[in-house]
A and B are shown apart, each in its own frame.
Chain A
Amino acid sequence: MRLDPEALRTLVHRDRVHRSLYLDPEVFDLEMHKIFGAGWVYVGHDSLVPKLGDFITTRIGKHPVVMSRHADGKIYVIHNSCGHRGAIVCNEEKGNAQIFRCCYHGWTFKTNGDLDAVAMPRGYGKDFDLSNPALGMGRVARVGIYRGFVFASLSANGPSLEEHLGHARDSIDELADRAPDGEISLGGGVHKYLFRGNWKLQLENAVDMYHVPFSHESTVRRSGKQFGRRAGEDSASAISDRGSAAQRWEQRSAWGSRSNGHGYNGHQPIAEQLPDDPVFNAYRALLERRHGVQRTREILTPKRHNTAFYPNMTLQALNQHVRVIVPVSVDRTEVHVYPVMLKGAPDEMNKSFVRHLNVTHSAASLIQTDDLECFRRCQDGLNAQGSDWVWFARGIDTDKVDERGDYVNTGTGEVQQRAQYAAWLRLMSAEG
């Protein structure tokens, strides 16, 4: 086997990874098997299927799946494949059904994946067991839900979801606690884009604070401040690779888990003025009613800016969204970006979250388009034969190890990416 653990170790060093990780279709196939095919993968959010019979279709790596809310009110993640001849059963991106029916020979399935009925069953012999569970669509091996975030694993074995999420789980709490009802909703639509690059480029970028003054140069005015993105706001944070803005940028904290690959950037340590308008004040009053003044102040002081949940989901607190990475092939990736709405918050506030995300993260946006361009150029440029390596060495001399054994450093280093590749090597080298 060419990509055995010994060979893999030569591809991943602490400060650099081999370019073949982005270019080699065999590496991609192994990633789909070892990372997406075995570990916990984010599938969707329960707010996408609020009513009985609601479903969405997506993929876990290469495996097409359906996430549904069955008649018992519970969420199921089932294989999107007919138990008979294997055809896709749910062909739409989302919908509502009492029963799933295969287009090919009319077999029907319950919305939890169980076989409902075989068409024209009398044609089958006595020995053919029509109650055999293998004739259903089948459920994926494990499903875990944390505050509405649905994860699934195609493997029956491995760490629990709680162990997998570890310290990164607090980022979900931080976001959901901002909702007066304690729950978020992703029901505000979705931005979807495609880039001609490897999926890991997006994952690295989600927790990369080093690129901002350069990739997003076109969003910064001569004053050094980024354009304002909210109504009534003329300019936003100071972004610069020089002077005090750069120093503040450097002071963000950063954390990366070597074992599970998750990582986050701390929030920029400048006291962001909380808005003082009737809508925000009404929102704050709702939080205070539930949590009291002290806890509300904590909730409204964001501690984490971006969090990457290895391997396929990221959260952002500033332009609040959930981002899902869908690998297509070694050099092609889809990204789905959902605006986060806070349940119980004033309508006007949730509408403005949705509107701001159009500006920053639609495929025609003013920010994400810079990243998409950089991903494309990376994929193209990595074909050059001048070097074998992609470097993640920034801050390596100053990495510290926290009490969990994870990396910590400042936000513009590449500590999160080092953590991602430590996890990559561990997962890719695992038995099975």
Chain B
Amino acid sequence: MLDKVVTMAAPLGDLRTIEKFLIHEAQLLDERRFEEWRDLFTEDGYYWVPLEPDQTSPEGRASLFYDDKRMMDIRFERLRHPNIHSQSPPHRTCHLIGNIAVESVDERQGECSVISNMIMTDYRMRTQRLFSGRVQHRLRQEGDSYKIVMKRVDLINCDDVFELIAVPF
């Protein structure tokens, strides 16, 4: 298990450090450590999964996920509820991350923009599904680690019909 993966000797935008961070993030989701995943976000951070290719904004257009930290709290409180029927049994997930590239570095803001490709397999009740897409992270250097200012996941089938989804991508 990876804890405190980021060592701050590395400069902002260091690829190896970011890779470790993203792997850690995915691991938290796969281990259903949702509250710890939420804590990776900045106070004004958000998680967004559009429903349309090339959707320019989560405002005024429907999205699959568009959560600020407060909504994440509510979402994960519910996922922990003993009588959440849609998670009895729960989904199991496996995230795989690759093709990581640092898109831009903003030294002044202490932020960098990172692109990666994602595959998530989920399984529940004899049904295994495959999701894949392009992920954009806006990361802010904070203390000896990074925080997520924004995570956007563009699924290749974002405008598909979906059976119920529980775990973030």
Contact = CB atoms under 8 A, between A and B. Distances in A.
Residue among A93, A189, A217 with the highest chain B CB neighbour number at 10 A = A189
Complex A-B, nearest 10 residue pairs according to Cβ-Cβ distance, in ascending order: A189-B62, A363-B162, A218-B84, A218-B81, A373-B86, A364-B165, A194-B161, A369-B164, A217-B83, A189-B61
B160 A218 contact: no
Residue among B63, B159, B161 with the highest chain A CB neighbour number at 10 A = B161
A64 to B, nearest CB: 16
21 contacts: A188-B61, A189-B55, A189-B61, A193-B161, A194-B162, A215-B85, A334-B161, A354-B61, A358-B63, A359-B71, A359-B74, A364-B64, A369-B86, A369-B164, A369-B165, A370-B86, A372-B163, A372-B164, A373-B85, A373-B164, A377-B85
B139 interface: no
A40 to B, nearest CB: 24
Chain B interface extent, by class: 20 to 34
Interface in A337-367: 338-339, 341, 347, 350-351, 354-355, 357-359, 362-364, 366
Interface string B117-140: 000000000000000000000000
Contact of B81 (A190, A217, A347): A217
Interface in B46-97: 49, 51-52, 55, 58-66, 71, 74-75, 77-78, 81, 83-86
Contact of A362 (B63, B84, B161): B63
B52 to A, nearest CB: 6
Interface string A12-27: 0000000000000000
Contacts of B160: 192
B166 interface: yes
Contacts of A357: 62
B64 A363 contact: yes
A219 B78 contact: yes
B85 A218 contact: yes
A275 B75 CA distance: 24
A357 B58 CA distance: 12
Contacts, number: 106
B86 A227 contact: no
Given A191-B51, A218-B83, A227-B74, A351 B166 contact: no
Interface in A138-193: 188-193
A309 interface: no
A91 to B, nearest CB: 14
Nearest to B65: A364
Given A227-B78, A228-B74, A364-B162, 8 more contacts: A188-B60, A190-B51, A217-B84, A218-B83, A219-B78, A358-B65, A363-B165, A370-B84
A109 interface: no
Residue among A359, A364, A373, A377 with the highest chain B CB neighbour number at 10 A = A364
A374 interface: yes
Contact of B62 (A191, A219, A366): A191
Interface residues of A, number: 40
Interface of B: 49, 51-52, 55, 58-66, 71, 74-75, 77-78, 81, 83-86, 159-166
A196 B162 CA distance: 11
Contact of B163 (A194, A227, A362): A194
Nearest to B75: A366
Contacts of B166: 364, 369
A391 to B, nearest CB: 20
Contacts of A55: none
A45 B24 CA distance: 45
A195 interface: yes
A358 B66 contact: yes
Nearest to B51: A189
Interface in A320-334: 334
Nearest to A350: B60
B111 to A, nearest CB: 25
Nearest to A220: B81
